[in-house]
Chains A and B, each alone.
Chain A
Amino acid sequence: MLIDTKELLPQYLQKIYNIILKGEFINENSSKKGNNEIYEAIVSKEVEVREYFRAIGYILIRREGYFYFAHDDAPNTPSALERVVDYIEIANFLKMLDSNFGVGYRFRLDSVENLLNNNIELQEIVSQMKGLNANTNREYIQKIIDRLRKDGFVEEQNSTNGEYVVLNSYDYIESFLNEIDVYE
């Protein structure tokens, strides 16, 4: 397939390439400047974008409400397994904190902190989570949310009142964990 880059969203190619390099998701429900615009742009030229980036070794993957890029030759590093395993604890904690936690969920840090303050069992669980060096419930919540934000699963919508939204890309983790088979 011949691709004419002049017709292929030239204004977005550099941005998409930067997103690939940073390993970010492209979410439809992101309000981050330009992210939603790039999502719409890819939707309008999905086949062309896929072919263009396949040529340089990346596969465009479309899921419900988000895109991401994977390596064409998919190196099977221990890092991916490690990250997924880390998320077992995080996803379990968040779902136990509020069973509504999932794509589209909106929350403020203080409201989530209140839920944790009122749940002794979860305080015990969070204190056992590896890699969270925190002293207060607020710090635990902050560190978990920072991790989600860094991995592109949540986004701060309003810095004044500290409101966050769970992005469509959180499905990447939830659907993966949901599909794991447990042998009894």
Chain B
Amino acid sequence: MALNKNIIDIIQTQNSCRDVIQELYTYETRPNDILRDTYKNAKIDDAIRLDIIEYDALEDELSLSSDTEEYYKTRLGQNDETTISSIDDKISKLKIQLNYYNKRVTAGEDAYKEIRAISKLLNQIPTILRYNLYTISSNSIFAFKNEPNFDIKMDKLKLSKKEIQQLIQASISVDRFLKEQKNFFKSINNTRINHLILKINKNTLELEYSFRMLYEEIKKFINKSIKDGEFIKKLQKLRELKQQNQLFIKTDIQERVSKQKHIVSFVKERKIHPDDRVFEYIDTIQESIKKRQIELQDTKEEAELSYDIDELEEIEKTLYNYPKLHKEFLAQDDDLATFLYKNGIDRAKLLGVFVRLLKHNFLEYEVGDDFIEIDKRKYIIVKGL
């Protein structure tokens, strides 16, 4: 019967064995019969079948499988053993245990404890390889897709590249170790160890493809990020040139714009807000006011203060009660722009209202030589006479 490891089975079994897992997480192994008596509702056989828990028939003991142990260690933030370097560490420990085993067998003693230690170490290796693969994979994808800071992203991706190279090397070391010790393991002739070696070989074979794929993927991430980085540099350079009014001199932007087939909307004349137009002509308006002043003085005529309907339509049909604003302005001490700003005039219309009031009431206003700045626009200081 094929082993059916669907996720619902695993979750249900894990839930039923929650207390068993908790106990095995605290102790390395526990007697099978005692655990079954204590936790009668736990699906312990299912947990063994699904590799959540391991059963040792010789000792009649239960322990957590390496995968489960790693998973909970990671969940609890206690995983400081499954680094890439821990693979070399496991190989070193294996060599020591093989040596102890040798000594016991030579001395004619029981080597059960050593076999158990060797089994445990061998069992941990595929888990560590897999765990590191997942970690590097998720770290690199997360960095590539979600890290907003370009420099940090590049650092993280380069680290992932280095780690996957180290992991490939570690996997090669495992293969080499197993080949070197092939005859020795044969001489032990232990079913469990033979099974574990087969498991490692099968796992490393499958993982090797994933390692290479991930390595290529990280290289692609890095190359794409380098392109992004170059683009960011270019944008910063273009912005800098724009600010220095050098954009049209030091780039081919004008030529490119003229050659490009633009979308229809990009070649339509953009409506410029009338306030912007007015701002461009503030000096001209001042000049006009001065000339008009002289003209009125010469002709001794009363100035017309009525609204210009066309002009009002130009400022998007927003009407203000200019005579009322004018009277209120004269009754206080602030300059005209500050007064309007404090009066809650729509920011986008502020300059338009300012200029209109100035134009209509210039005979009662004193126009100074200095400017004040409101919302990054300069307004000439105007006071009531």
| A is bound by B | yes
Distance (whole angstroms) from the CB of B231 to the closest CB of chain A = 5
C-alpha gap A22/B264 in the complex (Å):
8
Count of chain A residues near B, Cβ 8 A: 49
A83-B232 in contact (CB<8A): no
B266-A180 in contact (CB<8A): no
Contact of A80 among B237, B267, B347 (CB under 8 A): B267
Q: Which of A75, A91, A92 has most B Cβ within 10 Å?
A: A92
Contact of A176 among B147, B250, B260 (CB under 8 A): B260
A84-B253, A180-B251 known; A96 vs B232 contact (CB < 8 Å): yes
A79-B269, A85-B242 known; A115 vs B148 contact (CB < 8 Å): yes
B155 close to A (CB within 8 Å): no
Contact of B146 among A58, A100, A179 (CB under 8 A): A100
Distance (whole angstroms) from the CB of A69 to the closest CB of chain B = 6
B256 close to A (CB within 8 Å): yes
- Using a Cβ cutoff of 8 Å, how many contacts connect chains A and B? 125
A182-B250 in contact (CB<8A): yes
A70-B257 in contact (CB<8A): no
Distance (whole angstroms) from the CB of B136 to the closest CB of chain A = 20
A133-B375 in contact (CB<8A): yes
CB 8 Å contact bits of B245-281 with A (1 = contact, 0 = none)? 0010011111011101111111111100000000000
B250-A133 in contact (CB<8A): no
B266-A92 in contact (CB<8A): no
C-alpha gap A100/B256 in the complex (Å):
26
Which residue of chain A has the shortest Cβ distance to B238 in the bound complex? A88
B256-A179 in contact (CB<8A): yes
A70-B262, A79-B266, A133-B347 known; A99 vs B149 contact (CB < 8 Å): yes
A99-B148 in contact (CB<8A): yes
Residues of A within 8 Å of B153, CB to CB, are 99
B238-A133 in contact (CB<8A): no
A43 close to B (CB within 8 Å): no
A183-B235 in contact (CB<8A): no
A81-B253 in contact (CB<8A): yes
A98-B148, A182-B250 known; A77 vs B256 contact (CB < 8 Å): no
A71-B266 in contact (CB<8A): no
B241 close to A (CB within 8 Å): yes
Residues of B within 8 Å of A81, CB to CB, are 253-254, 257
A97-B148, A182-B241 known; A88 vs B263 contact (CB < 8 Å): no
B242-A76 in contact (CB<8A): no
A68 close to B (CB within 8 Å): yes
A70-B264 in contact (CB<8A): yes
Residues of B within 8 Å of A58, CB to CB, are 264
A148 close to B (CB within 8 Å): no
Residues of A within 8 Å of B256, CB to CB, are 176, 179-180
B300 close to A (CB within 8 Å): no
B265-A24 in contact (CB<8A): yes
A110 close to B (CB within 8 Å): no
A180-B234 in contact (CB<8A): yes
Contact of B266 among A23, A100, A178, A183 (CB under 8 A): A23
C-alpha gap A88/B132 in the complex (Å):
42
B257-A79 in contact (CB<8A): no
B228 close to A (CB within 8 Å): yes
B150 close to A (CB within 8 Å): yes
Distance (whole angstroms) from the CB of B198 to the closest CB of chain A = 44
A182-B264 in contact (CB<8A): no
CB 8 Å contact bits of B313-347 with A (1 = contact, 0 = none)? 00000000000000000000000000000000001
Contact of B251 among A76, A99, A115, A181 (CB under 8 A): A181
B239 close to A (CB within 8 Å): yes
A59 close to B (CB within 8 Å): yes
A85-B247 in contact (CB<8A): yes
Residues of A within 8 Å of B261, CB to CB, are 59, 61, 70, 74
C-alpha gap A20/B45 in the complex (Å):
68
A88-B235 in contact (CB<8A): yes
Which residue of chain B has the shortest Cβ distance to A70 in the bound complex? B261
Residues of B within 8 Å of A75, CB to CB, are 267
Residues of B within 8 Å of A151, CB to CB, are 265
A12 close to B (CB within 8 Å): no
A108 close to B (CB within 8 Å): no
- Quick one: which of B18-44 are within 8 Å of A by CB? none
C-alpha gap A22/B225 in the complex (Å):
35
With A70-B262, A180-B253, A182-B241 known, 17 other A-B pairs at CB within 8 A are A20-B264, A23-B265, A59-B261, A74-B261, A74-B267, A77-B268, A79-B268, A79-B270, A83-B266, A85-B247, A88-B239, A88-B247, A89-B239, A91-B235, A99-B147, A182-B250, A183-B252
Interface residues of A (CB under 8 A from B): 20-25, 58-59, 61, 68-71, 74-77, 79-85, 88-89, 91-92, 95-100, 102, 115, 133, 151-152, 172, 174, 176-183
Closest 6 CB pairs of A and B: A23-B265, A98-B148, A92-B235, A70-B261, A99-B150, A23-B264
